[in-house]
Amino acid sequence: MTVQEVSEMRRVPIRNDGERLQPRLPLEELNADGGLLPFVYPNGVPGYMTTTAEDFRNILGDPRFHAKRFLGEPQPGPVSVEVPDMPGFIPSMNGPEHLAVRRLAAGDFSVKAVQKLEPVIDEVVTKYLDQTQAHGSPVDLFESYNLPIPSEVIAKILGVPTTHTPEFQLAARLTIGGLPDEIEDPMAPAKAVARLHELIGEIIQLKRANPEDDLITRLTQATNPVVSDQEIWGLCTNLLLAGHETTSTSGAFAIAILLERPEAREYFLSHLDRTPEMVEELIRYVFMVTDSGGGIPRLATEDVEYGGMTIHKGEWVMPCVGTANADPTVCPHGATQLDLAREDILGHHLTFGFGPHTCLGQHLARAELKVIIPKVFERFPNVQLLTPVNELPWLDKGFGYRMAELPVSF
């Protein structure tokens, strides 16, 4: 693309009227037009965005496109950030090297490994329900319930000793950004990542001295390939970050939807035997609404002929979950609406991505959300929002957004 061509490109039309529970992109229009939508990111980097499920799968499944993050080169995004290279951080690895490192952790996130974790998830959720109850009403449910649960579950999978868990969770909490702590210290998220590095380093040494039945121990003992401490750190940081913000914020968002829409709440609570399907629909809907092209961008490593055009080497394509999840081929009826009665959605939406980087923690995320969402209504039958969803504070990240608090009474 030339500068002239880029300057003529239309920008992705993101609605910004403060309506939080409706899609921000004109999804049906984008789906119908199809093709890769050329546009310029707010940081000036040109790129394309996928607008259909087919394009989403094709780009993410094509090995000529590399996932790139944390490489310090100008990337498409709301802002340009310099982030250090991190060995073992699988979202920016590609090809056989990526699969080799990913498989080191994959056994701990398989369908059956997650099934074995269900009692652990129940225990952690109950702990934070108890704490929320002890705090009393009113409470910020995001802070007291949704935010701490995923990091505690991941800490247990990694094998973080209980002595280290509170500090591990505190660091995890700060990495997501947008919390009140940053008003006092804008560097809080960066410092938290550095502290995580130190903590995981300490834990690696503890596990080398006293091996246990956990993921960090297994990584220290891996022989094919042997994993360096740096790679263990990158991989563990990745596992934490990938499963922490996503699960905590999407769970809070799903609860907010049910609180805001009495008919959806009533349907959900009277069909708990369909919890897996209803949670799947909430996962589809939440990411359709909140994502407007904010995923990990793909870089063309060579010229690629695609859909009658050439994507040149060095150009970026952003896989858009929002348009993919609204695609009639994924969701044939009323895709832009939430429909908890929807059948056959399990595993057919694209929230968890596609291709070699497909979300490793998707079975864990489902298992957690299947407990997190219904349990809050079971424990607190009178739970109500204190502030309408559209008036809540949100962290807006340009191509995606998430809630920052969820004040409720119960």
Partner 1 sequence: MLVDYSKCTAAGQCLLAAPNVFDQSAENGTIVLLDEAPPESEYPRVLDAVNRCPASVISLANESGTTLR
Closest approach, Cβ 115 to partner 1, in A, equals 11
| Half-sphere exposure (Cβ direction) of 360: Cα atoms closer than 13 Å | 25
As measured in angstroms, the least distance from the Cβ of 356 to partner 1 is: 5
Task: Please report, to the nearest 10 degrees, the dihedral formed by the alpha carbons of residues 336, 337, 343, 344 taken in order.
Answer: 20
- Which position among 18, 96, 262, 308 is part of the footprint of partner 1 (CB under 8 A)? 96
CB of 110 to partner 1, least distance (A): 4
- Cα–Cα distances in angstroms (integers) from residue 227 to residues 113, 219, 307, in the given order: 22, 7, 40
* Integer Cα distance of 335 and 353 in angstroms: 18
Fill in the per-residue mask, 180 to 219: x = in contact with partner 1 (CB under 8 A), - = not in contact.
----------------------------------------
Under rule CB under 8 A, which residues in 279-318 are in contact with partner 1? none
Q: Which is nearer to partner 1, 355 or 398 (CB)?
A: 355
In the list 107, 180, 186, 388, the residue contacting partner 1 (rule: CB under 8 A) is 107
102 binds partner 1 (CB under 8 A): yes
Q: Is 97 in the site for partner 1 (CB under 8 A)?
A: no
15 vs 116, which CB is nearer to partner 1?
116
35-64 residues in contact with partner 1 (CB under 8 A) are: 57, 60-61
- Residue 95 CB, shortest distance to partner 1, in Å, is 11
Contact status: 226 vs partner 1 (CB under 8 A): no
Show Cβ contacts of residue 260 under 8 Å, excluding neighbours closer than 6 positions. Answer: 21, 385, 388, 389
Contact 370, 118 (CB under 8 A): no
Q: How far is the CB of 13 from partner 1 (least distance, A)?
A: 29
- Distance CA(336)–CA(333), nearest Å, equals 9
d(CA 160, CA 152): 9
The dihedrals phi and psi of 149, each to the nearest 5 degrees, come to: -65, -55
